[in-house]
Amino acid sequence: METIEQLIVCGGCNAKIGPGNLGELLADLPKSTNENLLVGFDSADDAAVIKLRDDLAIIQTLDFFPTMVNDPYLFGKIAAANALSDVYAMGGEVLSALNIVAFPEEKDLKVLKEILRGGAEKVREAGAILAGGHSIHDASVKYGLSVTGTIDPAKIYQNNTCQAGDHLILTKPLGVSIITVGYSAGEISQAGFEKATDSMQMLNKYAMDIIRPYKVTSCTDVTGFGLAGHLYEMLDERYSAEIYSEQLPYFEEAYTGAKEFILTAGGQRNRNYMAEKINFVVEDFAIEELLFDPQTSGGLLVSVPAERASALVEELQAANVPAKDFGVVTERIEKDIVVY
């Protein structure tokens, strides 16, 4: 079997610009105003939504990043699953995708072929059309997709429309950045690493297919800002939330790794941004790190009325989606998030 050159581990959603800096960058940019622009970047949502007619809108999004695993084929699958996720987070169906590639001029093109093969497989799994793309030479490998989806304008899920009393459900375990960083340093087992990569390459399509029939008040996917950062966006400074740490879904080796101070730069950026917004009643440093850990191709964070939460979690788990009901939305108090 031909040996393919391995990638340097340096990114994933851990490479994202931090939420505080990003907010400052976007604050003064001119806003687009158009009656058909239903969701734009001014709402900090997952993607743009543009109405074509009363019963049809398109979702536009893109996502790409540096490598977080050294296997090119696996990297392609994870990056594609991550990019496709924004469409699912808004309740949509994926229509088409275009490759986004940055690749060193001196690097073996067989590596790029493997990345593209992994990405193409995930687009095909999503039932979408891969219709080309754009590539440039760059000092480091980067890959992702520009994605177009479709949705009924009356059925859009936004990331900041939760209600007091809602239960909070997360569909994938936390801790993938801790695991990938720890694995590259020889501190995480092969089995633990494979559990994390299996999660990262799993499409959120399967969770969303189950979620759609339920009454959903708000939805987003958990990526570079960590669970704490994306939940903060969902609360929109109108509500607060209680998180019950014993009910959080996370990888056991990520928890033990955090206890041994396997940390990520993105996690520390998220911690700094959220420091004044979150109150840890529970005294557990590892839980704190898991909440701040940037997730690459993370799960869907969904808020649903309390009476529907149990049935939704049971149906998701029956379909092998490892979802957990981990908290509730409350009326506004001093802190945005309280962790018990």
Annotated binding site for Mg(2+): 46, 86, 221
Burial class (CB in 10 A: 0-12, 13-18, 19+), 331: exposed
Ramachandran class of 46: left when φ > 0, alpha when ψ lies in -120 to 50, beta otherwise: alpha
Annotated binding residues for ATP: 16, 43-45, 63, 86, 133-135
What is the pairing mode between strands 278-280 and 167-170? unpaired
Give catalytic status of residue 219 as yes or no: no
Burial class (CB in 10 A: 0-12, 13-18, 19+), 337: buried
* Torsion angle (degrees, nearest 10) of CA 51, 79, 46, 96: 10
Strand partners, 221: 300
Half-sphere exposure of 106 (CA within 13 A, CB side): 2
Contact 133, 101 (CB under 8 A): yes
What is the pairing mode between strands 324-331 and 37-39? unpaired
Annotated binding residues: 16, 43-46, 63, 86, 133-135, 221
What is the pairing mode between strands 337-339 and 278-280? parallel
Half-sphere exposure of 195 (CA within 13 A, CB side): 17
How would you list the strands of the sheet with 37-39, edge to edge?
Answer: 37-39, 48-53, 56-66, 142-151, 93-103, 129-137
Burial class (CB in 10 A: 0-12, 13-18, 19+), 190: exposed
Catalogue the active-site residues: 13
